[in-house]
Structure 1
Amino acid sequence: MTYFDACAFIGRWPGEKLAFDSVDGLLSNMRRLEIDRALVTHTLAWQNSPALGNRLLMEAISGHPELEPCWVVTPGLQVEDLGGEVAFCEQMAQNGVRAVRLYPREHVFSLNDGPTEKLLSELDRRNYLVVIDLDQIFTQSGLYDYSAASLDVLDTLCRTYPQLSILLTRVGYRAFHILMPMMQTNPNLFLDLSFFATHQGVEAVTERLGENRLLFGTGQPFVDAGGAMLRLVKAGIPQEAIRRIASKNLEQLLDRVKVAPLPGMHKEASVQIITQSADLSTERIPQDIEITDAHVHMGPYHKFYIPQNSAEDMLRVMDHLSIARSCISSHLAISGDWYTGNRLTAQAVQQYPDRFIGYVVVSPNEPELAEDEMRRAFDEWGFKGIKLVPDTHLQPIGGPGYQPVFEFASKRDAFVLVHTYHSSHFDDPQLFGEVAGRYPDVPILMVHSGALPAGFNGAIDLVKKHPNLYLDISGSFITGEWIRRMVLMAGADRVLYSSDQPFIDPRYSLGRLLFAGLSKQDLSLVLGGNIRRLLGLAGVS
């Protein structure tokens, strides 16, 4: 099978040290992951000047036919400086460029003003592939809130320029309920897998729209390529559909572009750069390590649509991925009603006691009810841990409302896991040092380890200082590189595998971990040994 990555980058990044920034680094990672070709953008075309970054890209990939250029363009004066829209497109044709990227939010331009219309009209005439990161048009209006109205421009774009192929990358999971109807009415709208994290989203798109609307893409090195790889090879769709998504769909979109092939590029470059393994999917999920997911949910969620979110749906995915057990708290419990939600969790645990391990959620706003609820959960329902969500209950983790929780946990040797988010007033990892020191005998898992790269190092430092703190690898921004750093700096016995299923499709977190290059011993601890030790669980075999 051939893999053609629709979303890869080279170049330095100011916000953090990435896993690689050069062509050699990209090619090395492609070989490691058995990716044959890649559509590549230079970060300086994004973060400095399109003209400079595009030129550096062409210099860097020269002599590497497995790498195809994707230029960045900013409409208006910058295109005028290049001689106008026609001249710019001719320059791309001379360089064999068949795809362009737009950054309307960061380059501060409208997608429906005059200069943009002139550029897109010329690109439309030539059937170009236009790539846009979703966060360039799907704007955040709060810590966890987004404006759906901002996506209206995408529908207009698809309708106005029907000959463009518009590819959204790094789609996440919050916009699926908007994008799916839009894709049904706009056949020129496509998604890549660089972080298409909707639970069972690949299966839902393939079932409703066919296998032609998804493209394999990794987002490397910003997004961990292992997540996209496992998401595809372990998708619950026919093998031929997997093959199309792996490379054929992107090849067909690029072949539509009215750019003549250049020597050493395009179809002439489709020779595999490595020898593919016979069955990547089964080789990458170890069958001799018991996988226990330390943190999942269940049921619908109010901020976005989740396909196949029931306990039975989750079990089918767990079986497909060889996940033995998962530790669960319902979405209702962590959002609108912790009391009723705990009873939904209890139903799932009682129905599938060999597969689900319960976490009880309590609210710091009702501390008088906490002890009775925790006692009931542990003594009657057989739960093994306590889940806290300070960002939902709007109380900082060190506040008095949590005192009954940690006192109960201390008495009962109970495990506590807490949602974290860097810069949150309620659960930034830096708030956990005082709590860990106050309750040194209570093991505390910092779920998401701060959630953002800016918070990861601080979370690691805290774990090194406090032996009762632990790191969690679920979330949108964890990569294999960060997992390696966590294991190296904090120790493999302090890092826990979790997926956040069905909030996020578990294949992303599992793929990042399996492709991170950990030793068998370390992988065994992270994949389940640690959480079973903390919960006092024996293995299933």
Structure 2
Amino acid sequence: MTVVDINRLLGPLPYDEVASRDPAGLVGELDRLRIDSACVVHTHAVYGDPRDGNESLTAVEETDGVRLRPVPVLIPGPLGTAEWQGSGGLVRLCPGEHRWSLTGGYALALAAALARTRTTVLLGWETVTAAEIDQLASALPTLRIILTGTGYRSLRELAELMDRHGELYVDTSTLTGHLQVEWFAGRYGARRVLFGTGAPVTDDAGPRFQLDTLALPDSETALIAGGNALRLLGEAEDP
């Protein structure tokens, strides 16, 4: 079973000392938890200027693009990170941290470019509202969005959104309630649930242990562990 953490940070945190402050430390954490690879956003791109953080990921891609998969942070508009020139892969949007509207004109233009190029979006639940997610997914139904950090108290809103929009996915970083992952897999299919930790901001050992104890068929657990991530990254075929 291949394990891919879809939601991980690399770099120093402004309020804590963490092992994942550099690539070697993060790889050590992955080894400790038996995680094969991680999709990583640089902390400078979240807590500082995304252009600096994204540039820091260039060296990571050149030296260790297998264990650590770089994920750029994008900002729309003339004061943003420039027009999207990529194709496929994964990006992160941080409207709350960088103070821009998810449903504004610039954001919708960027999202349309991401949808056209089959680029998947990581979007933190705490940075937007359910109404904004609904509006974005309705405007661009082919845009693939992975919602992270959803948590227990958001389940009613999250379930309604996932019922309405087939290209919404969820990571497991905060799906820690009893049989919560199993419920999502049963209702929406295991293909819409992805292993993610949100580490080091949120715990990584809990979601990794949960992965080994899911009450699901091995084939579905394998999809959640890494199969879905590899498919969305364009490295595996649809099951």
TM-score range, shorter chain: over 0.9
Residue 130 of structure 2: which of 136, 148, 151 is its match?
151
Give, in angstroms, the shift of residue 36 of structure 1.
Answer: 0.7
2-side partners of 1:68 and 1:106: how far apart? 22
- Write out aligned runs for 1:301-320 (5 A): none
- Match of residue 113 from structure 1: 104
- Match of residue 187 from structure 1: 166
CA contact (8 A) 1:110 1:116 kept: yes
- Match of residue 163 from structure 1: 142
2-side partners of 1:127 and 1:163: how far apart? 8
1-side partners of 2:109 and 2:20: how far apart? 36
Give, in angstroms, the shift of residue 13 of structure 1.
Answer: 0.9
Residue 92 of structure 2: which of 80, 101, 104 is its match?
101
- Match of residue 380 from structure 1: none
- Write out aligned runs for 1:237-386 (5 A): 237-255=216-234
- Match of residue 115 from structure 2: 124
2-side partners of 1:115 and 1:32: how far apart? 41
SS of the residue corresponding to residue 97 of structure 2 reads: coil
- Match of residue 50 from structure 1: 50
**CA-to-partner distance for each residue in 1:384-404, whole Å, 9 max, x for gaps?**
xxxxxxxxxxxxxxxxxxxxx
**CA-to-partner distance for each residue in 1:454-511, whole Å, 9 max, x for gaps?**
xxxxxxxxxxxxxxxxxxxxxxxxxxxxxxxxxxxxxxxxxxxxxxxxxxxxxxxxxx
2-side partners of 1:45 and 1:7: how far apart? 14
**CA-to-partner distance for each residue in 1:6-41, whole Å, 9 max, x for gaps?**
011111111122233111011001111111111110
Give, in angstroms, the shift of residue 104 of structure 1.
Answer: 0.9
2-side partners of 1:49 and 1:170: how far apart? 22
CA contact (8 A) 1:8 1:217 kept: yes
- Match of residue 11 from structure 2: 11
Give, in angstroms, the shift of residue 60 of structure 1.
Answer: 2.8
Structure 1: state its 5+ residue gaps. 138-149, 256-265, 268-541
Give, in angstroms, the shift of residue 42 of structure 1.
Answer: 0.2
TM-score by length of 2: 0.93
Give, in angstroms, the shift of residue 109 of structure 1.
Answer: 0.7
- Amino acid aligned to 2:149: R
- Match of residue 74 from structure 1: 75
Which aligned runs of 4 or more in structure 1 are off by greater than 6 angstroms?
A: none
- Amino acid aligned to 2:53: G
Structure 2: state its 5+ residue gaps. none
- Amino acid aligned to 1:127: R
Choose between structure 1 and 2 for higher RCO, CA contacts under 8 A separated by at least 6 residues: 2
2-side partners of 1:29 and 1:7: how far apart? 14
Give, in angstroms, the shift of residue 3 of structure 1.
Answer: 0.2
Give, in angstroms, the shift of residue 62 of structure 1.
Answer: 2.0
Identity of matched residues, %:
32
CA contact (8 A) 1:176 1:198 kept: no
CA contact (8 A) 1:171 1:197 kept: no
- Match of residue 195 from structure 2: 216
Give, in angstroms, the shift of residue 168 of structure 1.
Answer: 0.8
Q: What's the RMSD between the two structures over aligned residues?
A: 1.6
Give, in angstroms, the shift of residue 181 of structure 1.
Answer: 2.1
Give, in angstroms, the shift of residue 77 of structure 1.
Answer: 2.1
CA contact (8 A) 1:23 1:61 kept: no
- Amino acid aligned to 2:32: R
- Match of residue 301 from structure 1: none
- Match of residue 474 from structure 1: none
1-side partners of 2:170 and 2:30: how far apart? 21
TM-score by length of 1: 0.42
- Amino acid aligned to 2:68: L
- Match of residue 354 from structure 1: none
2-side partners of 1:120 and 1:61: how far apart? 24
2-side partners of 1:98 and 1:34: how far apart? 23
